[in-house]
Amino acid sequence: MEILFEPLHAFDTNASAWAEGLRWEPLTAVFVFASLWWVKWPLLLALGACGDCSCRKRWPRAAAAGALAVGAAALLITVLKDFFDRARPPLADASIDPVGIVPASASFPSGHAATAVAAAVAIGLVHPRLRRPLLAMAAVVALSRVYLGVHYVFDVVAGTLIGIAIGYAAARTVQAVGQAPTRLALRL
């Protein structure tokens, strides 16, 4: 089994070293900001709630979808981190110099990427006009994790894919629940 993961680990290590070589102070400041706990999803949920304010006749679907997506993503990521228990880049390779504090949790998959992307996808499906800015913010959050040296590329890719799937499911679930009373009223 290790023979399958050896090329992946080599790619991840090389990509981490390459990202470290790209560091530039203004860009580092942007990525440090993007990695703050309140940016990874609370800010996205707040933007979704603002979008909900423009739709006074409906319940806050974007905020509900975003919250459902973030909660589900965080729960699944916690389980997966415990299962895979992959060491963070600077713990696995002393030559990698991280920016800031290295989280104590396992590296795979990226929780920042999963929750940010899940929130962005869920809210973007409910309010399409917010989709591009939210996905751009989520992409910056995800990229920041590799740039700062606290995740491997594969961790972020896995977290992103999980976030897409959960965000889509959460948005569709909230939209179905929001339409349920209308369907019931039509039958009566």
Of the candidates 135, 20, 118, 15, the one whose C-alpha atom is nearest the C-alpha of residue 76 is 118
Contact 116, 138 (CB under 8 A): yes
9 is annotated as an active-site residue: no
Whose structure tokens read 């996205």?
44
Nearest CA to 153 among 7, 13, 3, 4? 13
Using alpha carbons, select from 3, 4, 6 the residue that is nearest to residue 14: 6
Whether omega before 109 lies within 30 degrees of 0, making that bond cis, reads: yes
Question: Distances in Å between the alpha carbon of 52 and those of 39, 43, 95?
Answer: 19, 14, 47
N-terminal to C-terminal alpha carbon distance within the chain: 59
- Catalytic residue among 40, 86, 88, 112, which? 112
DSSP H helices, 35-152, are 37-40, 42-53, 61-84, 89-92, 111-126, 131-147
Catalytic residue among 86, 88, 145, 151: 151
What amino acid occupies position 46?
A
Q: Which residues are catalytic?
A: 112, 151
